[in-house]
Structure 1
Amino acid sequence: MRIHNVSKGAVALAAAAVLLAACGGGDDKGDYPTLTGDKPLVIGHRGASGYLPDHTLEGYRKAIELGADFIEPDLVATKDGVLVARHEPNITATTDVAQRSEFAARKSKKLVDGVSEEGWFVSDFTLAELKTLRAVQPLAERDQSHNGKYLIPTFEEVLELAKTEGARLNRSIGVYPETKHPSYHAGLGLALEDRLLAILGKYGYTSKSAPVIVQSFEVANLKYLRSKTQVRLVQLVDANDVNADGSMDLTAPYDKPYDFAVAGDARTFASLLTPAGLKDVKSYADGIGPWKPYLIPSKLVDANKDGKPDDLNGDGKIDERDRVMLPATDVVKNAHAAGLFVHPYTFRSEARRLASDFKGDPKAEFRLFYQLGVDGVFADFPDHAKAARD
């Protein structure tokens, strides 16, 4: 998933807290306003990416230690066709490749979903070469002390970790892979789907009860996967930004699934969240993974009507702390009515990523979304998600 800066949550926080307190921890079926009544899942977004570099075995292990029910590897393919966990095909920001003189000549420009990018790309490296690189923390405000320490894991290594840690802790640890830029990979002759299915088949993960959920921002590849497997599938829903008034900014290329753009399909991501769109999604997927402002938006305030947003906290800059939460939309209600579970992304705990309503408390944001009835959350800090839930 992309790094979005908008974090939300508001109105009736006290009611949310009362609701969850009444749940007594949510261990019993029927306690939560989720699709099934079960407590919502905590999904370790790229591992425990608030603490350790994204997509490393150490980060995934940390997420499990902090209570994540699922860990999330984004999948891309190497030159020799191996699925590895990286946020994007371009690894310039997430590895030390730019400092590796032996790979200087690999720097190139590629078109990824219609956007020109420059850097180093996984598809230009064999697995053996990738294993010589080390992961780094891509967000400057987060702990940089682990940079250069951890390897890039394969998808199979992530599955093995989940299996081993699950056995050690005597609880199920799920894996929630995302097929990254499937059209791009298909164009390189490195299609992700059959590779993914082969690995899942090797582990016996073929049914809806398997500890696996597969997600994608595209649609055609999910339909293909549905024809081949019964593991749970999730349609991700993106946007470019959130406007000052809380409406969604659907500027290309983040306006629609890329396979829609290729096919000339006029529908946008927002189209997928209408009642008719959700009914269509249900024909090939089990859930949706919307960017969270689709569920509860927020707005900037212009009390003076001077065309400039108010600096609510007086820190001299405008960010999430200056946004005010708005009432929830009907997306969760409509998705549940269609039989789809809802797993919004991405919850980040830094104060500057939290709307003014939450007063710097990330658990307050989680409580609001749990009250709304989401079935799981993608969290960079899984311990905060778990604490708010339990």
Structure 2
Amino acid sequence: MKYPTLFILFVVFLGCSKPSKNTSMQKKIVVAHRGASGYLPEHTMEAKAMAYAMHPDYIEQDLVLSKDDVPVVIHDIYLDDVTNVHEIFPDRKRADNRYYVIDFTFDELQQLQVTERFDPKTGKQFYPKRFPKGKGNFKLHSLQQEIELIQGLNYSTGKDIGIYPEIKNPEFHHTNGKDIAKITLDVLSEYGYKTKSDKCIFQCFDAKELERVRKELNSNLFLVQLIEFEEETKQLTHFATYADGIGPWYKQILSKKVDGKFTFTNLVEQSHKYGLKVHPYTFRADQLDEFSSFDEMMHVLLIDANVDGGFTDFPDKMVAFLSKQ
């Protein structure tokens, strides 16, 4: 008898890691970035099931609307760097030679195969030591489908793992006549995510849109303002008027090394002063940059810099680190 890939992954990895028993570190949350994306193609159901079995606090969902207004779990508004869209729909690209999620119905999107992220110009895989490009049988899915997976697993396991959705490029959606924020909030509400106590953190890079989510759309969810550019780190006072936390690039927290030790900017300290949690992105065991090991990266950011948690492609490794603290 052949078992579904999703079931096999869940059974295999459910017993591979144990949740942290150290209550002193529970405030440091682990966010599975695009699922267990260090091991399986990002934002696939298989990557989410594997992440769930690694016991993170939250699993992330990046969202883009389809042509028929279905919130699709995918990192970008484009399709051609994680799917075989150029093979299935060769004539559906725009003038810029890119294929856009918003130009396809959800049923059409279901015809595509999802693969490990690659450069559509060269075909080269971004992370060469991750799951082999073009292998497997992975599909796109909706926010509703992923919520039902996570809530179903919460029910069957007795755990309470949350969701951490991000709406992608809301201005692009507005330009194309779609309100991704409202549509997403309606879906979240339908599944019981309405307040800060509902284990759902809502994030966005667009500060104008996130403020709209709070003040115009009247959301009571926990909101995190993502930060991309350095100048945005100076806007904490304004962010605190509508957001509950910030999500900076982790390098915006680091300053320089002095006598072999990392020093830090005042971003975490100032954020905490304004009552904002700090969840930096992205901790990758195969992209350490200035760190000698993943454990050093975790210690410097989670302990020394005192961030409140973070996004990682390797949730098992972050959970394991915190379990030892």
Q: Look up the match of 1:235.
A: 225
Does 1:286 find its partner at 2:244? Answer: yes
Aligned match of 1:333: 269
SS in 1 for 2:153: helix
Name the % identity.
34
2:219 paired with 1:224: no
Query: Is 1:127 aligned with 2:106?
Result: yes
Relative to structure 1, the CA distance from residue 95 to residue 279 in structure 2 (aligned partners, 3 Å threshold; closer, same or farther) is: same
> So what's the TM-score if we normalise by structure 1?
0.71
Q: Does 1:104 align with 2:125?
A: no
Unaligned runs of 5+ in 2: 1-19, 118-125
Question: For 1:1-390, what aligned pairs fall within 5 Å after superposition?
Answer: 27-28=22-23, 31-32=24-25, 38-100=26-88, 103-109=89-95, 117-138=96-117, 139-141=126-128, 142-144=130-132, 147-227=135-215, 228-239=218-229, 270-274=230-234, 277-297=235-255, 326-350=262-286, 353-356=287-290, 358-359=291-292, 361-371=293-303, 372-390=305-323
- Preserved contact between residue 256 and residue 264 of structure 2 (Cα < 8 Å): no
Tell me the equivalent position of 2:120.
none
Say if 1:57 and 1:153, in contact at 8 Å, map to a contact too: yes
How far apart, CA to CA, are the structure 1 residues paired with 2:261 and 2:74? 32
How far did 1:271 drift?
3.5
Alpha-carbon spacing, 1:165–1:297, altered in 2? closer, same or farther (3 Å)? farther
Evaluate the alpha carbon distance shift between residue 184 and residue 145 of structure 1 in structure 2; reply closer, same or farther with a 3 A threshold. Answer: closer
Q: Which runs of 5+ in 1 are unaligned?
A: 1-24, 33-37, 110-116, 240-269, 300-323
Distance (whole Å) between structure 1 residues aligned to residue 55 and residue 153 of structure 2: 12
**Cα deviation code 1:303-339 (max 9, x no counterpart):** xxxxxxxxxxxxxxxxxxxxx8741111111101100
Q: Which amino acid aligns with 1:27?
A: N
- Matched residues, number: 290
Aligned match of 1:9? none
**Contact 2:55–2:161, Cα closer than 8 Å, also in 1:** no
CA distance in 2: counterparts of 1:235 and 1:147, whole angstroms: 35
TM-score (structure 2 length as normaliser): 0.85
Q: Residue 148 of structure 1: CA displacement?
A: 4.8
**After the TM superposition, which parts of structure 1 deviate over 3 Å for at least 4 consecutive aligned residues?**
145-148
Aligned to 2:4: none
Letter in 1 for 2:313: D
Task: Give the letter for the 1:189 counterpart.
Answer: G
Aligned to 2:9: none
Query: What is the CA–CA distance in structure 2 between the aligned matches of 1:293 and 1:118, rounded to whole Å?
Result: 33
